[in-house]
Amino acid sequence: MLTTKFDPLKDKMLQVLDPKGKVVDAKLEPKIDDETLIKMYETMLLGRTADTKALQYQRQGRMLTYAPIKGQEAAQVGVAAALGKEDWFVPAFREMAALLYKGAPLKQLYLYWYGNEEGNHFDPDLKILPISVPIASQINHAAGIAYASKIQKKEEVTVAYVGDGGTSHGEFHEGVNFGAVFNLPMITVIQNNQFAISTPRSVQSKAKNLATKAVGYGIPGIVVDGNDPLAMYIATVEARERALKGDGPTLIEAVTYRLGPHTTSDDPTIYRDEKDFKDAETKDPLIRFKQYLIDKKLWSDEKDEEKIKEFTDYSNKIFKEVEETGLVDLDDVFDYQYETLPPHIEEQRQRAKERGGK
């Protein structure tokens, strides 16, 4: 078991690919078919490109506050690739690449950050929960979904995401503990990107690593190189098998680094150590995964450039659609409050219309 071999109490970290894309231990290398490997990389690249574009749109005053994922693509795609279509995905708010892999259309992800509720209106077959802004609260939803899977004997696993800051929150404890007590088919992934806005990881916990928290809940935990998609993949595969066998939840800490600002309203140069940042750039998940695919003759630099151009055009096209259709109608802000709108709120809607609201 990976979770015993890479014991978080001994501060071990699971890694398959080193920052240069070389396999560190051939026994750990997963057998993933070529098509899936390419899909994983392409999704990371689309995530990166769409992220870069979103920042640009924001700087041009066309997009609202946006939370970038740069540097965290492997921590997301490695997990999403190990899931089945039947599995649930419970995001925090910085998981665009995982959502893309799970099948969420870029248009919706953009719509959300454009300030339109339609961005959370996912096709239910995707089994994606809406973006959850109140930190860590979503873990309890994941526990409830997993509880329902268990007693209804549905063969499915629920994955919840949370940040390193989120692990300090009461709701993190309550949700992970609930999953553990009822032995639920649930995986909690901590994206440890080293910061909660300006607050460094060291302020959140005195523990050496965050996966050790699993010990207190009586469940397996593991620290994974979150910039290594293959390590994230195998850790998730194992956790998922355990969950489906009825052996309960797993806590995965993905060690990564937020290469961008917290959101577009943030200036990370105020608080981050530039040496750490430069070092983190050399551990960029895209660099290592690209090299791995090139070594496997599945990719090339030319192909990379071609794809970046394709994804840039695609992002531009999608964002243009968003801008053309992204305003929210008056009816939209009333229609989803209740199944049946109480009469006094219906009156408020009518009055807003009389005032010329559309």
Partner 1 sequence: MAVMTILGAINHTLDQQMEKDDSIVLLGEDVGFEGGVFRVTKGLQQKYGKDRSIDTPLAEAAIIGSSIGMAMNGLKPISEMQFSGFMFDGYNQLVSHAARMRNRTRGTYNLPMVVRMPYGGGIRALEHHSESLEVLFAHIPGLKLVIPSTPYDAKGLLASAIADPDPVIFFEPKRLYRAFKQEVPEKDYKVEIGKARVVQKGDDITVVAWGALMPEAIKAIKLLEDQDISVELIDLRTIAPWDRKTVVESVKKTGRFLVVHEAYTSFGPGAEMISVINEQAFLYLEAPPTRLGGADITIPLPKGEHHFIITPEQIADKIKDVVKF
Ligand X SMILES: Cc1ncc(C[n+]2csc(CCOP(=O)(O)OP(=O)(O)O)c2C)c(N)n1
Question: For residues 127 and 90, is the Cβ–Cβ distance under 8 A?
Answer: no
| Residue 135 or 219 having the CB closest to ligand X | 135
Question: What is the three-class DSSP state of 135?
Answer: coil
- Asked if 198 touches partner 1 (CB under 8 A), the answer is yes
Token pair of 241, please? 């098998």
A 10 A CB-CB count for 346 gives 12
Supply the minimum distance, in Å, between the C-beta of residue 196 and ligand X: 3
Choosing from 43, 108, 116, 193, the residue that interacts with ligand X (CB under 6 A) is 193
Q: Looking at 76-84, 187-195, 248-256, 313-321, which segment touches ligand X (CB under 6 A)? A: 187-195
Backbone angles phi and psi of 104, in degrees to 5: -65, 135
The torsion region of residue 153 among left (phi > 0), alpha (psi -120 to 50) and beta comes to left
Tokens 């794809």 -> residue: 307
Q: Which of 169, 262, 272, 288 is catalytic?
A: 262
Choosing from 114, 161, 217, 289, the residue that interacts with partner 1 (CB under 8 A) is 114
Distances (CA, A) of 144 to 151, 171, 183, 226, 283: 11, 13, 12, 26, 36
Which residues are within 8 A (CB) of 307 and not within 5 positions of it... i.e. 6 or more apart?
A: 42, 45
- Asked if 64 touches partner 1 (CB under 8 A), the answer is yes
Q: Looking at 12-20, 50-58, 72-80, 332-340, which segment touches partner 1 (CB under 8 A)? A: 332-340
Helices (H) and strands (E) in the chain, counts: 15, 7
**Residue 262 annotated as catalytic:** yes
Question: What is the three-class DSSP state of 205?
Answer: coil
Supply the minimum distance, in Å, between the C-beta of residue 169 and ligand X: 6
Backbone angles phi and psi of 252, in degrees to 5: -115, 125
Q: Which does 94 bind (CB under 5 to 8 A by kind): ligand X, partner 1, none?
A: ligand X
Supply the minimum distance, in Å, between the C-beta of residue 137 and ligand X: 7
Choosing from 169, 258, 288, 290, the residue that interacts with partner 1 (CB under 8 A) is 169
Supply the minimum distance, in Å, between the C-beta of residue 191 and partner 1: 14
Residues of this chain that interact with partner 1 (CB under 8 A) are 64-65, 114-117, 131, 133-135, 165-166, 168-171, 196-199, 203-205, 265-266, 270-271, 326-330, 332-334, 337, 344-345, 348-349, 352, 355, 357
Binding residues (CB under 6 A) for ligand X: these are 94, 133-135, 163-166, 191, 193, 195-197, 258, 262
